[in-house]
Amino acid sequence: MRLGSLKHSTSESKWQPICSLPVPVHVAKLKLPASLRLRDVLRVGVRAYATAPSTESHTVPSGAGVNFELSDEQREYQQLARKFAREEIIPVAPHHDRTGEYPWDVIKKAWELGLINMHIPAEQGGLNLGIMDTCLVTEELAYACTGIQTAIEANSLGQMPVILAGNKAQKDKFLGRMMEEPLMCAYCVTEPVAGSDVAGIKTKAVKKGNEYVINGQKMWITNGGVANWYFVLARTSDDPKMSAGKAFTGFVVERDTPGITPGRKEMNMGQRASDTRGITFEDVVVPAENVLGAEGMGFKIAMGAFDKTRPPVAAGATGLAQRALDEATKYSMERKTMGKLICEHQMVAQILADMAIGVESSRLATYRSAWEIDQGRRNTYYASIAKALAGDWANKCATDAVQIFGGNGFNQDYPVEKLMRDAKIYQIYEGTAQIQRVIISRELLNRAMGK
């Protein structure tokens, strides 16, 4: 039976049949017992059952060209995420938007179903899925509520430096625990005076024996108040002339370390379900064993994470744009003016057509950026294109949806008002729309010069 063929109610107990299904092919390739069920994998971890290391490859044969055809397993994940989003997230999204309450209940259910932490390696108990797989799920969750989706996806950003640069002990310790229970983590890079200018980070880490002492302040940290641990980028060189590529070091820091003080939850314009805070580090002592890679590698690790996480951010923006298009289309087929449905007015039809163009082009750009990284290729150029394009179109589609709704679109009783507020952050976080264009132009010119 396929995951997507099941119907479920909003009761958590009704989801139990899913967790009794055979594991998807992605996990089955690990040579696990035939009797193994998905719940066993999610609760206990692949490492408890595996008899051979993962040989899963997300690549296609050389010369086969770009291929976005989804496998049966990918369609199953996509359909599972779609059902979950419609039945578990959409009904509670207005409450979390109104109150700013963190969506723990939704996150716990998503964790049970394997819709969170999808990319954690098999050796640490994860499903070891590709970026395309994550994008498929992310778009569906974002369709329902980008605030809740961002809270879920922030784990990916926090985990990615550990996945990319952590040693086995670090991965076992910090990633393994996230497969045992629903825990969150956070990526602590941005500071009050250092957003797009990452090289301007002031947080310092001073080595004292086998430990580092961290002092500084981070800002706009998603999951900052609920994280179990943080990835922290700090300056370890006092030389003002040293390049960013050598001046910073990445650390994994336990949340309960003395000296860490999360600030108040920020009540933002949109995506209010996510937990965004400033965090102060005052004489925070971190063992040297928590350094990722080596001293001076932090900037490269932090930026490398974006190549993996920007495609899912673009997928989230695409999900919001798709929701805006669907809501606007539905409303235009119900609302009448001047004796006919507003979708029959040429100007409204043109707006809908432009929205559809934006959604489809955003999705294709997202798929290309995810496909490139899953082939093992550097995707910085495509990831920035996807992030910039999808972020811009999410904002335009949300604005156009409000316009089609007219006065009703400006009212909280209708869904597009929230979409418009939620969309703006896609042009800001994980690199502003302007920074993406800086990256794109740099990559373009480097190619032209043969670099």
Strand pairing category for 227-235 and 211-222: unpaired
How many other β-carbons are positioned within 10 Å of the β-carbon of residue 89? Answer: 26
Print burial letters for 297-308: b (CB count within 10 Å at least 16), e (below 16): bbbbbbbbbbbb
- Type of residue at 113: L
- Annotated active-site residue 430? The verdict is yes
Alpha carbon dihedral 148, 153, 159, 165, in 10-degree steps, equals: -160
Give the residue from 1, 123, 175, 120 showing the smallest Cα distance to 19. 1
Which H or E element spans position 321? Answer: helix 298-332
Residue 285 forms beta bridges with which residues?
Answer: 213
- Annotated catalytic residue, options 112, 140, 327, 430: 430
Q: At a CB cut-off of 8 Å and minimum separation 6, what does 89 contact?
A: 106, 141, 144, 145, 148
Is the separation of the CB atoms in 130 and 77 below 8 Å?
Answer: no
Give the residue from 417, 411, 412, 390 showing the smallest Cα distance to 327. 417
Compute the distance between CA of residue 76 and CA of residue 47 in angstroms, rounded to an integer: 23
CA angle 330, 403, 362 (to 5 degrees): 70
Compute the distance between CA of residue 365 and CA of residue 383 in angstroms, rounded to an integer: 8
Encoded tokens for 166:
């952590």
Helices 298-332 and 346-374, axial angle in degrees (round to 10): 150
Sign, CA torsion 68/72/75/77: negative
Give me the phi and psi of 199, to 5 degrees please.
-65, -15
**Active-site amino acid positions:** 430
